[in-house]
Amino acid sequence: MFMTIMQSLFGTRFGILFGTGGKHSSLRSQPLTRTLQAATVLCAALLLAACGSNVNLAEDVPVQDRTAVPVQQIGVAPTAPGVAPAAAVDQRAVAPVQAETTAIGQPPAHLERLVFFDFDQYIVRAEFIPLLEGHARFLAADRQRRVALEGHTDERGGREYNLALGQKRAEAVRRSLALMGVQDAQMEAVSFGEEKPASAGSDEAAHSQNRRVELVYR
Amino acid sequence: MHQTPLQTPFPPPASLSRRRFHALAALGGAGLALGAVGPAQAQFRVEVTGVGLQQIPFAIAPFRLATGLPQDVPAIVRANLERSGQLRALPGGSAILDESARPDLAPWRAAGVDALITGSVNRLADGRFDVRFRLWDVVRAQDLGGLSFPVPASDLRLAAHRLSDFVYERLTGDPGVFATRIAYISRHGERHNLWVADADAENAQTALASAEPIISPAWSPNGQQLAYVSFEARRPVIYTHEVATGRRRLLAGFRGSNSAPAWSPDGRRLLATLTFGGSSQIFAIDAAGGGQPQRITQTSGIETEPAFTPDGRLVYFVSDRGGSPQIYRMTPAGADVARVTFEGNYNISPAVSPDGRWLAYISRINGAFRVCVMELANGRITPLTDTSADESPSFAPNSRLIMYATQAQGREVLMTTSLDGRIKTRLASAPGGIREPDWGPFQR
């Protein structure tokens, strides 16, 4: 109970630092909100008086539990007065979450779904135009189908910048398909950057496999 | 749960008249790897390389320890202080000295020790442990104070970090960051995890597990939430996630890609990169949710990786408007754009130090991606590493260290470096490697 109240009041397991005459100014890692100190002192003092597990050590004095704490010496008060402790949450706790993933749909048969790009290039090479025309015909024939154009880069460079470069490749494919008559609502250009390489290697052969846009049907 | 100063007359705040550690610095110079400096225990996996110019030599005498302790508190403290780069461990001898001892400081002085830590960990009647210590200024033979932390076993590491913070602050005058937390990402096969760990990368706990990648974790200014980019929906979307409860909210799941979240210093909104207009542009989004994102940049190229200055008055970001990715700055409303980096043709991932003095970023130098730091007052640039695949620099909340990801022996690892690049430490790793570190704010 003591723990629970302390945590909800002070938001951590290490709530209180007792000053010793003001010379020692507490650890600065603690965001002192001076204006709140005085106001919260009363609550804290009551709690401490009730629970009494503070330890005020003196050099030549035996360790005493249940020592009263001078009110003005309590140094940390992050919580506004009058705020009732809600369900206590240990702010250093970590509650694990499992993400659920999204299933993908059936792609059209007999159509390749990979468009490769040259190094540092973001235009669709002519050799991939027939492939994209096949997808454009498929999408025109069934306006209910949706396709994600997933852009990818090789591993070199920063993750966020590569995400933007992968987006550029996906966008290039989207514009090509739009010119072939695919409706905007049927396509979404997204990027995986360097996060999902097709080939795990670090040589140019692997890199060339990874600079790509995948057409993924939903 | 609290800490209590051990009562003694405290001297005026830290002004150790200390003998700085010069000897090896003259021999070593920047970047010279001396191997493991100081025999930090293997279980803590602290590998310190390099030698600082001004390191305070300290020693931890053997604590009086209860039997069966689940954590080696003095070893955690020692590893912490060494990792700071500003302190240097010397042998602590073999005689047990607890916080109530009045040690004869002459032999310590003769051994070159400037600061001595004594202490104990006792088992309390209620099953908790009491961690106590005292710090001595050996040179001036003064008691610099001590604390008592009565904690449950699960908080022994935290007590060790608080102890480290006290010692570090007393000796250097800067606040310690050992009780802060970091976030990072691991990948092992098809398992992607977002971890929250102590600042030494130990005591890691999973905040999110996913079968799809996670990138760009960013602590909220109050240290209670993480924003990050998750690919779980087969496209990048941004979540905000309350770590203690696991409650999370989709912040940005707009058409296209959603990435590069950056909290404003007041925590009320985030900047992020959205692509629903076709190109990657920076938008402002209300942290509380709702409302339309407000477009900040207006180009047809790539604008990404926003990073606020701590006063919230400027935003550093990456743009390819000049033909190659470079770092620029602007106001949070997108005005007064100015280019910041001019050297080389690939400068990305800006991070501003909490004291506002430094800009860390990744620069491609002769084909290698390296952490660099720019002193914003004069534009002076210092490359901090000699590795080739550095990523994601993130400042410690006291602006004294930078954490970053790199590759060592073909594995992704996390490193810290001092801002002069002299002191580097390698943090714990995990199968498959860890990356994308973000150093959280000061927390109580």
A1 to chain B, any CB pair closer than 8 A? The answer is no
| Interface-testing mutation among B1, B2, B328, B364, with chain A (most A C-beta atoms within 10 A) | B2
A101 to chain B, any CB pair closer than 8 A? The answer is yes
- In the structure, what pLDDT confidence band is assigned to residue A65 with cuts at 50, 70 and 90? very low
**Residue B274 half-sphere exposure, CB side, CA atoms within 13 Å?**
21
- Runs of H (alpha helix) within B189-333: none
Query: Cα(B202)–Cα(B441) distance, rounded to whole angstroms?
Result: 17
- Runs of H (alpha helix) within chain A: 2-10, 34-51, 129-141, 159-179, 204-210
Q: At the topology level of CATH, where does B181-439 sit? A: Neuraminidase (2.120.10)
Render pLDDT for A93-105 as a digit per residue (tens, 0 to 9): 999 999 998 888 8
Query: Cα(B398)–Cα(B418) distance, rounded to whole angstroms?
Result: 12
Where do you find CATH 3.40.50.10070 in chain B? 4-172
For chain A, give the percent of residues with pLDDT over 90.
Answer: 50
What are the chain A neighbours of B239 within 8 Å (beta carbons)?
A: none
First to last CA, chain B: 12
What are the chain A neighbours of B13 within 8 Å (beta carbons)?
A: 23-25
pLDDT at A46 over 50: no
Confirm if B257 and B236 have CB atoms less than 8 A apart: yes
Query: Cα(A153)–Cα(A5) distance, rounded to whole angstroms?
Result: 51
B442·A148 Cβ contact <8 A: no
- The DSSP call for residue A74 is B
Q: pLDDT at position B444, please?
A: 61
- In the structure, what pLDDT confidence band is assigned to residue B38 with cuts at 50, 70 and 90? very low
Closest CA of chain B from A151, distance in Å: 10
Largest CA distance in chain A: 90
B245·A95 Cβ contact <8 A: yes
| Interface-testing mutation among A1, A27, A65, with chain B (most B C-beta atoms within 10 A) | A27
- In the structure, what pLDDT confidence band is assigned to residue B171 with cuts at 50, 70 and 90? very high
Q: pLDDT at position A120, please?
A: 86
| B110 membership: H or E segment, kind and range | helix B106-110
Q: Which residue has the tokens 């007041």?
A: B266
Residue A34 CB contacts under 8 Å (≥ 6 apart), including other chains = none
Residues 219-238 of B with CB under 8 A from A: 223-224, 229-236
pLDDT at B294 over 50: yes
Closest CA of chain B from A195, distance in Å: 6
pLDDT at A210 over 60: yes
Q: What is the average pLDDT across B56-84?
A: 95
Angle value at C-alpha B113, between B108 and B119, nearest 5 degrees: 75
Domain layout of chain A by residue ranges = 2-73, 114-217
Render pLDDT for B132-166 as a digit per residue (tens, 0 to 9): 999 999 999 999 999 999 999 999 999 999 999 99
Q: Which of A30-34, B172-176, B226-230 has the lowest mean pLDDT?
A: A30-34
User: Measured between CB atoms, which of B230, B259, B369 is closest to A160?
Assistant: B259
Q: Which of A163-167, B25-29, B366-370 has the lowest mean pLDDT?
A: B25-29
Q: pLDDT at position B48, please?
A: 63
- Reduced to 3 states (helix: H, G, I; strand: E, B; else coil), residue A217 is strand
- In the structure, what pLDDT confidence band is assigned to residue B15 with cuts at 50, 70 and 90? very low
First to last CA, chain A: 52
What would the two tokens of residue A95 be? Answer: 């509650």
A22 to chain B, any CB pair closer than 8 A? The answer is no
Angle value at C-alpha A83, between A77 and A87, nearest 5 degrees: 100
B256 to chain A, any CB pair closer than 8 A? The answer is yes
User: Measured between CB atoms, which of B180, B280, B364 is closest to A164?
Assistant: B280
Confirm if B56 and B115 have CB atoms less than 8 A apart: yes
Closest CA of chain B from A168, distance in Å: 7
pLDDT at A12 over 60: no
pLDDT at B241 over 90: yes
User: Measured between CB atoms, which of A17, A29, A96 is closest to B206?
Assistant: A96
Residue B412 CB contacts under 8 Å (≥ 6 apart), including other chains = B405, B406, B429, B432, B433, B434, B435
Question: Chain-wide mean pLDDT for chain A?
Answer: 71
C-alpha distances (whole Å) from B105 to each of B5, B15, B74, B115 are: 22, 18, 20, 10
- How many C-beta atoms lie closer than 10 Å to residue B222's C-beta? 14
Tell me which of 3.10.20.740, 3.40.50.2000, 3.30.1330.60, 3.40.350.10 is the CATH number of domain A114-217: 3.30.1330.60
**Residue A56 half-sphere exposure, CB side, CA atoms within 13 Å?**
12
- Runs of H (alpha helix) within B4-99: 23-28, 73-83
What are the chain A neighbours of B364 within 8 Å (beta carbons)?
A: 157
A143 to chain B, any CB pair closer than 8 A? The answer is no
Q: Which residue has the tokens 């008559």?
A: A181
Render pLDDT for A98-125 as a digit per residue (tens, 0 to 9): 999 888 888 898 899 999 999 989 999 9
CATH code given to domain B4-172 = 3.40.50.10070
A213 to chain B, any CB pair closer than 8 A? The answer is no
pLDDT at A38 over 90: no
What are the chain B neighbours of A190 within 8 Å (beta carbons)?
A: 234-236, 256-257
User: Measured between CB atoms, which of A58, A156, A188 is closest to B255?
Assistant: A188
B209·A11 Cβ contact <8 A: no
Closest CA of chain B from A127, distance in Å: 24
What are the chain B neighbours of A91 within 8 Å (beta carbons)?
A: 223-224, 244, 443
Query: Cα(B108)–Cα(B116) distance, rounded to whole angstroms?
Result: 8
Nearest to B76 by CA among B198, B174, B135, B161: B161
User: Measured between CB atoms, which of B209, B231, B362 is closest to A195?
Assistant: B231
Q: Which residue has the tokens 């909220």?
A: B220
A164 to chain B, any CB pair closer than 8 A? The answer is yes
Q: Are β-strands B205-210 and A97-98 bridged in parallel, bridged antiparallel, or unpaired?
A: parallel
Query: Cα(A11)–Cα(B244) distance, rounded to whole angstroms?
Result: 11
Confirm if B103 and B97 have CB atoms less than 8 A apart: yes
b vs e for B294-320, b when ≥16 Cβ sit within 10 Å of the residue's Cβ?
A: eebbeeebbbbbbbbbbeeebbbbbbb
Residue of A nearest to B444 (CA): A30
Nearest to B55 by CA among B200, B172, B199: B172
Query: Cα(B220)–Cα(B242) distance, rounded to whole angstroms?
Result: 9
Cα B151 versus chain centre, distance: 24
Q: pLDDT at position A90, please?
A: 79
Nearest to B208 by CA among A129, A217, A54, A99: A99
Residue of A nearest to B278 (CA): A171
Query: Cα(A149)–Cα(A215) distance, rounded to whole angstroms?
Result: 5
Angle value at C-alpha B382, between B379 and B383, nearest 5 degrees: 135
What would the two tokens of residue B102 be? Answer: 């009045």
A to B CB pairs, distance under 8 Å: 239
C-alpha distances (whole Å) from A151 to each of A154, A156, A211, B228 are: 11, 15, 8, 20
What are the chain B neighbours of A28 within 8 Å (beta carbons)?
A: 169, 175, 442
Residue A80 CB contacts under 8 Å (≥ 6 apart), including other chains = A36, A39, A40
